[in-house]
Structures are given as structure tokens and as C-alpha cells.
Chains A and B, each alone.
Chain A
Amino acid sequence: VYQRSNDRPGPRLALRSAVLGGIAVALFAVLFFRLWDLQVLSGPQYLAEAKNNRTREYKTIAPRGDILDRDGNVLVDNRTSLALQLNTQKLPEDPAEQKAELAQLGNLAQMSLRKVRRTIKEGEEVAAGAPVTLRKDVGYDLVYYLEENQRRFPGVAVQRVFVRDYPNGSRAAHVVGSVGEVSEEELKEAPYKGLEPGDEVGKGGVEYTYDRYLRGQPGLTKIQVNALGQPTPGGQLVSQPPSPGDNLKLTIDPEVQAAGESALASRGLPGAFVTMNVHNGQLLGLGSFPTYDPTVFTEPKTQAEVNALYRDPVTAPLTDRATESYYPTGSTFKLVTALAALEGGVITPSTSIFDAGKITVGTQPFQNAGGASYGPLTLVPALEVSSDVFFYELGWKMWDSGQLQRWAAKLGIGKESGLDLPGETEGLVPSRSWRNQLYKEGETDRPWSAGDNIQLATGQGDLQTNPLQLAIAYAALGNDGTIVTPHVGMEVEDAAGRVLKEFDPKPRRRIHIDPAHRMAIMEGLHQAAQGPQGTSYGIFGGFPIEVAGKTGTAQRPPHADQSWYAVLAPYPDPRIVTIVTMEEGGFGAESAAPAALQILEAYFEKHASSVSASGTGLAE
């Protein structure tokens, strides 16, 4: 051995001690640097991780706001419903036992084991550890059964959730729309920022358009948990109660809406109606038939029910025929033709055109409906009797000028209206460039011809529009040239009824209409509705309020003729416009006009006093 007692350490010991000391210095240096790295350099990052580690968030769903009509009646509100929820952490650990419980639970909830498993998996992906909703709207009998047999169903709980409720059934179904779970695509869009899969958002109608007002702010409970995910005593960190969504008041007038819907339903034909305030574009009524019961979206649907809703192209109940349709309008379009001809200087109100019952352009004859001939006509009687030949002549005269198309566009035909409902169609006003383009592409057998414009002049042929666009055009005549922005949203109110926001969208534009021209057309329409020779005199002749209305009979081969009616009331200073159309409803006066009458009756019954007060008075 290298060291003797009572001696200094030998050189070998000194070396070995020094080496060990060096190793020790290195080891401690490693520890110190690692400690410095963790705590000083990366400390904030680890602190955030630690904070995230120990909290679990639970969301409390906020009820959506109610949707009210203009009188404050509830169209849509919420009911509380019982949802079957499962806390997966409390499920039996033994796979066989777990399977047995899930299968039994599936039986009770009328779900297959596979569906139960899939639902759980989806829920876990959304929020691991949070309870999974297996099924909404379970019955009380099931709840009682589960409570009595709690021990057999560990982890199962019943939770109150909010479900959309429709006290008036399908009333204004196309306007209010529906709600549903936010989709993956929507989650990426700005309006849905902050939402999570499984959250409910508006999917159609005003539920969609005004979603941000209707949607509430979910409540948040943050609790502190330990490593096992169990809440720790006194560990509630944040509790933010849910704040319900605001209520939305619509411009819909309950009486008008009810009258329109029942008028459509009583004939049983697919169709639509629009009633709008001509001055500000507020939609007092908007409906489509056949309609549907919005509660179908709050309940699980069978495939057959889904097919009936989505797949049937004939009834297509989900389609709003007032705004999402493509129709020719028949003679109701003569308003546009008349305006274009007058303003374009093609005729004056006193220009007389001889109606011989038909005109022939090239080799093609165009006849009056029913083979009638009216002799010499100026604009007013031409409108009154709805002489086609008169308007054929106008269409012919303007066939090459684009005048008719320009005025159709000015009046909003074939244009999106800016309506606050999703899905409105643009439509089509056939024009020279449109058809020539098609012809060049080989899509059609001939270029633009006078015949096309002659057809358009009477609202036939390739014209595609919808009742809403027609309402806007008629309103422009009624209000002296304002193209209003139609809307159903009126104001947002909080739960106490305080108005938070009013919707009064600016008119799209103003167009100039010569007062004499307007007078002439208005009078023509008035005579058409209430003059003895008028096409709808049979319907409106006895109506105590003076109106200006026009029938339309659109040819839609292979279908039977489509019935149209457009009416401004009261005459001569209209406040509302109503458009009604019914597929295969025959002549305008046959089905659409009586329906329009029903709507006006409802409106003026409600507003009788104001009509008298305004001095418009009752007719005759």
C-alpha cells in the first residue's frame, strides 16, 4: 500500500483524489447546468405545462336566444331535455364487464353497441375525460330505470340540455331554419372561432344568419384535479356561468304569415308567398309549401325520414320556394316590360297598339291566351286585360336594344337581393349575350332572336326568377324607385327585452321612374285587379281596399301552368307588396290571386284603423 501512517499523502493518492475531485466537479456541473436550464431558461414553459396539467375544464351549454315574430310571439325557444351521459373513466375496467354495460346501455338508448362505442370515441376525441353524451332527449321512464339501477350502470348520468322547441310547429319554418352540430369545415371559419366540435350552431334560416346573436356564451368550470383526474378539495378555480344567447325579433307579422301559410296549404300545391313592406324591405310574411316540421332536426332521424326531407325532388320541403326557386313569372313580368318601354321611350302612356289577337315574327306566331283580341290598346287597358300582343309588340321593339334586360336588372330580377337568409337564388334574365354565348358553345341550336325577347316580355321562356325578386320589383314601383333590401331580422333583444341592435339595411339603390309612367302602370295594375275588365276583378273586385295587382300564368312544360299573383296595396300609395305563386295552379286568378286576397285580408283586418286614418279609405 502506498501510504504510511502519519505521512503526507503519497503522489499516487494525490493523483487519484484529484481525478475523483475532477469527476465530482464535472458531475455537479452537469446537475447545476441542467437545473439552470430547466428552472431558469425553460421555467415559464414548464410552469405553463404544470398549470395545464392540473386543470380540467367542463363546459356548460348556454341556451340559444328565442326567435320572436314582430309582435313578440315566440316562434322558436328552448325546452330542457334529458341527455344520457357517460363518464368513461368510471366504466368497469374489465373489458367483458365494460362491454356488457355498454351493450345494455345501448339497448336502453336504442343504439347498437358499435354506435355506443363510436359515440364514446368521438366524444373522447373532442374532450378527453369529459362526459360523453350518448343520446339526447331520453324519456323519464329511462331516467327512472337508470336511477333505480344505478349500481349496474357505473358512470352513467342524466344531464339537462337545451333543445330547440317550436311552439307553433312548422310556422315560418323556412325563415327560422334549424340548428345542428357545428361541422368540421365550419370550425375553420371565422364566425365559429372558439367553438368546439359538438357545439350547436344555426344551420339554416335566421338561425344561421343571426347565429352570433342567438348563440350564447357557454359557461366554463375549471376544476383542479390530481393525477388521477379526481377533483381536489376546494379545487374549483374558475366558474363562469353560461350566458344565454340574445333574442331575435323578426319582421314577420304573425297574421300575415298564418294567412299565407294556410292559403298555400288549403290548395295543397307547391308554392310560395312573400309579403313585404315596400318602403323598408321588411318581410311581413314569407312561406313555402310543402313545409316541414323543424323538430325533425332536434330528433334522431331514420333514413326514410331523411330521404323524405332531402331527396324528394318534387315536394322538396326543405327548399324555400319564395327565395330558392327558379321560375318564369308569366304576365306579372309585364311590369318590367312596361317600365322598360316607357322609360326607354319605346311608347308613352298614350301610345296605342292594335291587338289583333296575335303577331307573327318571322314565321313564328305569338297569340293571346285564350285566342282573344282586344283591338287598339294603350298601356292601362293593356295591363287591365293583360293583352299579350301589346307586350309582344314591346318585346319585339326592344329585342335588339337590351332595354328590357337592363330594366329587369335595375329592378332586381336575376340578381341576388341581399336577403338575410341563406340560399337565395340569383335566377336568370335571358339576354342576347347570354344566348349567343350558349350558341357559340353549342349548348343551344340558335342565337338570340326577337322571339326570345317577345317571350321574356310576357314572363315566359327562359326567365328564371323567384317570388322575392318579383316582390322587390313591384315594391320599386310602389315606393317610387327604391330597390329595398329585403330582410326578416328586425332587432336583437336581451332577455329583458332591451333592444341591443336594430336591423335596417340600406336600400340597394334608387332608380328614376317618371311619375307619369309610374301613375300609368299603377293605374293599369289597379284596373287589372279591380277594373270591371280586370283579370283578377273576380277576386279583388269586391275587396274594400283599393289595390294594384297583376295575374300571371307561367308556362313550365312539361308541368301544367304555374299561377302567379303580384299585388301592391293600398292603391295608389302602397305600403305592402304580396307575391303568391303556385306550381300547376293554372291561371293567375285561379289559385294565386285568391291566396293573395287571403293574405291582404289578414293584413288589412289587423291594420284597418291605420288604413282609414291615413285617408286611403275604402273603395266604393
Chain B
Amino acid sequence: MMYATRGRQARAEPFAIRTGIGERLGLAHMDWPLSLATVALAAFSVFTLSQATLNDVPGSPHYYVDRQALYGVLGLIGMLLATRIDYSRFRELRVGIYTFLCASVALVFVFGFAARGSRRAFEFPFFSFQPSELGKLLLVLALAGFVIDGARRGSARQRTVRYLCLGLAPAALVFLQPDLGTSMVFAVATLAVMYFGGVPWTHFAVIGAALVALIALVLVAAPAVGVPVLKGYQEQRLTSFLHPSEHASGAGYQQNQSVVAIGSGEKTGRGDRATQTRLDFVPERHTDFIFAVIGERYGFMGAAFVLSLYALLFWRALRIVTLSKNSYGTLVAGGIAVSLLFQVFVNVGMNLGIMPITGIPLPLMSYGGSSVIATFLAIGVLQSINIQARLSQKGRFAW
């Protein structure tokens, strides 16, 4: 038995780490490129903040750096812990997770603290917690459970409607906070889980058509008959990127300044001679517009490097989708991968002036505990799926 085991390991897993603490922590079966990209992005975020936000908070020169570093460490620990949990347990807990998700998002309306006219987070003595950030992961975990669970109940059409309702309920709550960006992430995550849950293409076509109709209704028809769905600033942000010069000092201002910042970085960046992101021309430089900081300070080299890390991250996530040992893992990995891709594209696109301003943070880069830790946890779940897959199909070749 001993002999046989050793022999098989030696043949099929030439790089396997010896059984020991690593094996027990599951490190041996983690997806190392994914971990590397995650940690590199978090570290680059701390590095960028350390240069760009020095002295932003009077009397506390390293305010953002220290906190982001702490969030990164906490997130890393959370990720390692998440890898140790068999993600299939979340499928069993789907109702509880879903209830917690909806309750926490709803409770924000009651106990949340208002920042700039929108209630998104709970305020605790030393930190604030934004449930909708963690909610992106929780929604995927719960919804994937519901999809697997109800896979054989009802017609395909009923199932699609059910998934949509389950996913869009929390999305609607978040939308009302109001947090348009995060509600869009919720919606996209829902669609992603449905996509990997086998919802027919035709249904997606119908959903797509409905979406187009809805956008037309919200942006054009509803205001025309005097029932505004979006707040004025929301609508302006969504549409001003289409004609930035018209709004050069209004809604398009931030985006225009961001584009100028990134462009001015040229190939190698302006370093400490950066002005756009150093002198407040670009707002929210530590959160939504941190990519503009990278673009201006480190130029094409830095920005392309960050984009490449995200590409690597997404590639590995997609790979885990296909490796998963069970459907639940596939759906969860797919939901996480797509919501990460969506957030990266929308945020970077917003920084580059090709996507509307929606207030979606750049995962792992934007300053903010809830977002950073929630993303680390999501990566941890991906790792868990990977570890479970590797443990169950040792020796199989993976692409």
C-alpha cells in the first residue's frame, strides 16, 4: 500500500509537495498563479497607496496605507481559511446565507451610516462594514445552491424566472441604497450562475432584449413621462461618458481628469511628478480611480502590468470553473470569475473613459476593507474548489 501510493505519486505528480503541513493546509493543491496574482495585486495596491496618498489625512501620513495593508493581511488569512473549508458546505447553508445576505443589505437602511447621500455600510467602532461587498460572494454561493437544488424542479422557463427573482431581489435592495454599481455586479453574478447552470441560450436572448428595453425605459421613456427611476447624478454619470466634452466641468469632469491623468503617464509614468492624481484633479484617487493613479505614476508599464495580473487571475478562475469536481463548484467559480471580470472591466473602463461612472471598486486595488477582504474570501473559495478538484482527481491532466 505504502509502496503503491509512493509510486503513483512519483509518476503523476512530479511537483507535488511532500505530505506535511503544506499538504494539510491544502497549499499543495492551491492554484499558485491565482494566489500569486491575488497577493501581487493587493501588494501593488498598498505600494501605490503608500506613494499616492501620503499625507492625505492630516496628522496621519500613512492612514490609507496602514489600513489597506491590514485589510490585505486579514484578507490573506481569510483566503487561507476559506481554502480549508469544503465549499460544498455552502450549498447546504444556501438558505441561511441567502437570508443573511438579504437581511444585512436591508438592515443597512435602518442602521447604516450615510455617506454622500447613500446608506451602504454599518459603522463599527474601528471599522465600517459594507454588506453588499461580501454580498457579491454570498449571492453566488447561495444562488448556485438554489440552482443545483432546483435543477430538476419545474420547467426550464420556471427555473429561469426563479433564479432571476432570487438574484434580483438583493440586487434591488442594493439598488435602493442607492448603489447602482454593486447592484449591477449582483445582477451580473446572477446571470453568470445561471449561465453555468445551463439556462438555455434562448432565455438569455430574451433577458438581453428585456434589458435593452429596460435601459430604454429607465433612461429615455420614464423621465419623459415624469417618473425618474435613476437619480439625476446617476443618469448623468451613466451617460456622460458618451459625450465627455459636453460635461467637461460637470459629470464628465472626473472622467476627463482621469483620462488626462492616465494619458499623461505615457510609457513609463510620471512618478512623484504626477500632478493629476496628486493635486486632487482626479477625485477618489484611493478608491474608484486608483487605476488612474497607477496609469499616471507608473505609465503604460505599470497599468499594463496590473491589467495582466487581472487577466492571469481571470484565466485561472475560468480554469477552476472547468476543473471543479461538481456542478456546484462550477457554478460558484463561474459566478465569482464573471463578477470579478465585470468589476475589473467596468472600473478600468471607467478610468479609461470608455465606461460610465458607476462607483464599482477595482477588486483588490481600491482602498476599502469590505471590498478587499470579500475579494480575498472569494479567491479562497475558488482555491477551495481547486483543491477539492485536485484531491478528487489526482493525476489527471489539466489544461
Pick the residue among B151, B348, B392 that contacts A31 (CB under 8 A).
B348
Interface of chain B: mostly helix, strand, loop or mixed: helix
Rounded to whole angstroms, the CA-CA distance of A38 and B299 in the bound complex is 10
Task: Take A13-B330, A54-B281, A232-B279 as given contacts and tell me if A34 and B264 are in contact as well, using a CB distance cutoff of 8 Å.
Answer: no
Q: Are B198 and A34 in contact, CB atoms less than 8 angstroms apart?
A: no
Q: Which residue of A lies closest to B314 (CB)?
A: A24
- Tell me, rounded to whole Å, the shortest Cβ–Cβ distance linking B323 to chain A: 8
Q: Are B338 and A44 in contact, CB atoms less than 8 angstroms apart?
A: no
Rounded to whole angstroms, the CA-CA distance of A14 and B334 in the bound complex is 12
Q: Are A5 and B325 in contact, CB atoms less than 8 angstroms apart?
A: yes
Q: Which residues of A contact B326 (CB under 8 A)?
A: 3, 5
Task: Take A53-B276, A228-B280 as given contacts and tell me if A46 and B259 are in contact as well, using a CB distance cutoff of 8 Å.
Answer: yes
Q: Which residue of A lies closest to B325 (CB)?
A: A5
Q: Which residues of A contact B321 (CB under 8 A)?
A: 13, 17, 20
Pick the residue among B151, B259, B276 that contacts A1 (CB under 8 A).
B151
Q: Are B261 and A34 in contact, CB atoms less than 8 angstroms apart?
A: no
Scan residues 135-172 of chain B and give those whose CB is less than 8 A from a CB of chain A: 148, 151
Q: Are B327 and A39 in contact, CB atoms less than 8 angstroms apart?
A: no
Q: Are A40 and B266 in contact, CB atoms less than 8 angstroms apart?
A: yes
Q: Which residue of B lies closest to A227 (CB)?
A: B280
Scan residues 341-399 of chain B and give those whose CB is less than 8 A from a CB of chain A: 341, 345, 348-349, 352-354, 392-393
Cβ of A9 under 8 Å from chain B:
yes
Rounded to whole angstroms, the CA-CA distance of A13 and B197 in the bound complex is 9
Cβ of A268 under 8 Å from chain B:
no
Cβ of A620 under 8 Å from chain B:
no
- Tell me, rounded to whole Å, the shortest Cβ–Cβ distance linking B211 to chain A: 16
Task: Take A1-B327, A6-B325 as given contacts and tell me if A42 and B263 are in contact as well, using a CB distance cutoff of 8 Å.
Answer: yes
Task: Take A14-B322, A45-B263, A226-B280 as given contacts and tell me if A39 and B311 are in contact as well, using a CB distance cutoff of 8 Å.
Answer: no
Task: Take A30-B354, A39-B263 as given contacts and tell me if A50 and B275 are in contact as well, using a CB distance cutoff of 8 Å.
Answer: yes
- Tell me, rounded to whole Å, the shortest Cβ–Cβ distance linking B258 to chain A: 10
Scan residues 319-335 of chain A and give those whose CB is less than 8 A from a CB of chain B: none
- Tell me, rounded to whole Å, the shortest Cβ–Cβ distance linking B244 to chain A: 13
Q: Which residue of B lies closest to A21 (CB)?
A: B318
Q: Which residue of A lies closest to B265 (CB)?
A: A39
Scan residues 1-17 of chain A and give those whose CB is less than 8 A from a CB of chain B: 1-3, 5-6, 9, 12-14, 16-17
Cβ of B195 under 8 Å from chain A:
yes
Cβ of A224 under 8 Å from chain B:
yes
Q: Are B275 and A54 in contact, CB atoms less than 8 angstroms apart?
A: yes
Q: Which residues of A contact B315 (CB under 8 A)?
A: 21, 24
Cβ of B40 under 8 Å from chain A:
no
Q: Are A49 and B266 in contact, CB atoms less than 8 angstroms apart?
A: no
Q: Are B327 and A44 in contact, CB atoms less than 8 angstroms apart?
A: no
Task: Take A2-B198, A9-B322, A35-B295 as given contacts and tell me if A43 and B265 are in contact as well, using a CB distance cutoff of 8 Å.
Answer: yes
Q: Which residues of B contact A16 (CB under 8 A)?
A: 195-196
Q: Which residues of A contact B257 (CB under 8 A)?
A: 53, 227
Cβ of B300 under 8 Å from chain A:
yes
Interface of chain A: mostly helix, strand, loop or mixed: helix
Q: Are A49 and B260 in contact, CB atoms less than 8 angstroms apart?
A: yes
Q: Are B304 and A35 in contact, CB atoms less than 8 angstroms apart?
A: yes
Q: Which residues of B contact A35 (CB under 8 A)?
A: 262, 295, 300, 303-304, 307, 352
Task: Take A1-B148, A39-B299, A227-B279 as given contacts and tell me if A47 and B263 are in contact as well, using a CB distance cutoff of 8 Å.
Answer: yes
Task: Take A24-B341, A50-B275 as given contacts and tell me if A32 and B304 are in contact as well, using a CB distance cutoff of 8 Å.
Answer: yes
Q: Which residues of B contact A354 (CB under 8 A)?
A: none
Cβ of B267 under 8 Å from chain A:
yes
Contact code string B299-341 (vs A, CB < 8 Å = 1, else 0): 1100110010011001100100110111100100010011001
Q: Which residue of A lies closest to B389 (CB)?
A: A6
Rounded to whole angstroms, the CA-CA distance of A224 and B280 in the bound complex is 12
Q: Which residues of A contact B393 (CB under 8 A)?
A: 6
Cβ of A511 under 8 Å from chain B:
no
Pick the residue among B260, B276, B330, B348 that contacts A3 (CB under 8 A).
B330
Instruction: Give the bracket for the number of chain A residues in contact with chain B.
Output: 35 or more
Scan residues 209-227 of chain A and give those whose CB is less than 8 A from a CB of chain B: 224-227
Task: Name the residue in A1, A5, A13, A224 with the highest tally of chain B Cβ atoms < 10 Å from its Cβ.
Answer: A1
Q: Are A225 and B299 in contact, CB atoms less than 8 angstroms apart?
A: no
Q: Which residues of B contact A46 (CB under 8 A)?
A: 259-260, 262-264
Task: Take A5-B326, A13-B330, A31-B345 as given contacts and tell me if A54 and B352 are in contact as well, using a CB distance cutoff of 8 Å.
Answer: no
- Tell me, rounded to whole Å, the shortest Cβ–Cβ distance linking B333 to chain A: 10
Rounded to whole angstroms, the CA-CA distance of A13 and B330 in the bound complex is 9
- Tell me, rounded to whole Å, the shortest Cβ–Cβ distance linking A32 to chain B: 6
Rounded to whole angstroms, the CA-CA distance of A38 and B353 in the bound complex is 10
Q: Which residues of A contact B324 (CB under 8 A)?
A: 3
Rounded to whole angstroms, the CA-CA distance of A43 and B300 in the bound complex is 10
- Tell me, rounded to whole Å, the shortest Cβ–Cβ distance linking B308 to chain A: 9
Cβ of A28 under 8 Å from chain B:
yes
Rounded to whole angstroms, the CA-CA distance of A89 and B348 in the bound complex is 34
Q: Which residues of A contact B261 (CB under 8 A)?
A: 50
Rounded to whole angstroms, the CA-CA distance of A46 and B270 in the bound complex is 12
Cβ of A193 under 8 Å from chain B:
no
Rounded to whole angstroms, the CA-CA distance of A16 and B303 in the bound complex is 30
Task: Take A17-B321, A24-B341 as given contacts and tell me if A38 and B279 are in contact as well, using a CB distance cutoff of 8 Å.
Answer: no
- Tell me, rounded to whole Å, the shortest Cβ–Cβ distance linking A351 to chain B: 87
Q: Which residue of B lies closest to A2 (CB)?
A: B198
Contact code string A396-433 (vs B, CB < 8 Å = 1, else 0): 00000000000000000000000000000000000000
- Tell me, rounded to whole Å, the shortest Cβ–Cβ distance linking B301 to chain A: 9
Q: Which residues of A contact B148 (CB under 8 A)?
A: 1
Q: Which residues of B contact A226 (CB under 8 A)?
A: 279-281
Q: Are B267 and A39 in contact, CB atoms less than 8 angstroms apart?
A: yes
Contact code string B181-212 (vs A, CB < 8 Å = 1, else 0): 00000000000000111100000000000000
Q: Which residues of B contact A49 (CB under 8 A)?
A: 260, 263-264
- Tell me, rounded to whole Å, the shortest Cβ–Cβ distance linking A37 to chain B: 9
Rounded to whole angstroms, the CA-CA distance of A51 and B345 in the bound complex is 28
Pick the residue among A2, A24, A34, A232 that contacts B352 (CB under 8 A).
A34
Q: Which residues of A contact B283 (CB under 8 A)?
A: 227
Cβ of A434 under 8 Å from chain B:
no
Cβ of A27 under 8 Å from chain B:
yes
Task: Name the residue in B195, B270, B280 with the highest tally of chain A Cβ atoms < 10 Å from its Cβ.
Answer: B280
- Tell me, rounded to whole Å, the shortest Cβ–Cβ distance linking B61 to chain A: 14
- Tell me, rounded to whole Å, the shortest Cβ–Cβ distance linking B364 to chain A: 16
Q: Are A43 and B267 in contact, CB atoms less than 8 angstroms apart?
A: yes
Rounded to whole angstroms, the CA-CA distance of A578 and B306 in the bound complex is 87
Rounded to whole angstroms, the CA-CA distance of A5 and B323 in the bound complex is 10
Rounded to whole angstroms, the CA-CA distance of A17 and B399 in the bound complex is 13
Q: Which residues of B contact A17 (CB under 8 A)?
A: 318, 321-322
- Tell me, rounded to whole Å, the shortest Cβ–Cβ distance linking B226 to chain A: 29
Q: Which residues of B contact A503 (CB under 8 A)?
A: none
Rounded to whole angstroms, the CA-CA distance of A12 and B198 in the bound complex is 8
Rounded to whole angstroms, the CA-CA distance of A344 and B392 in the bound complex is 129
Q: Which residues of B contact A1 (CB under 8 A)?
A: 148, 151, 197-198, 327
Q: Which residue of B lies closest to A44 (CB)?
A: B266
Task: Name the residue in A34, A39, A45 with the highest tally of chain B Cβ atoms < 10 Å from its Cβ.
Answer: A39
Q: Which residues of A contact B303 (CB under 8 A)?
A: 35, 39
Rounded to whole angstroms, the CA-CA distance of A226 and B151 in the bound complex is 57
Q: Which residues of B contact A310 (CB under 8 A)?
A: none
Pick the residue among A31, A40, A45 that contacts B307 (CB under 8 A).
A31
Q: Which residues of A contact B262 (CB under 8 A)?
A: 35, 38-39, 46
Sample of 8 A–B contacts (CB below 8 Å): A6-B325, A13-B330, A17-B322, A20-B338, A24-B341, A35-B304, A47-B263, A53-B276
| A residues lining the B interface (CB < 8 Å) | 1-3, 5-6, 9, 12-14, 16-17, 20-21, 24, 27-28, 30-32, 34-36, 38-40, 42-47, 49-51, 53-54, 224-228, 232
A30-B354, A38-B262, A53-B281 known; 8 new pairs, CB 8 Å cut-off, are: A5-B325, A5-B326, A13-B196, A31-B307, A35-B295, A39-B266, A39-B299, A50-B276
| B residues lining the A interface (CB < 8 Å) | 148, 151, 195-198, 257, 259-267, 270, 275-276, 279-281, 283, 295-296, 299-300, 303-304, 307, 310-311, 314-315, 318, 321-322, 324-327, 330, 334, 337-338, 341, 345, 348-349, 352-354, 392-393
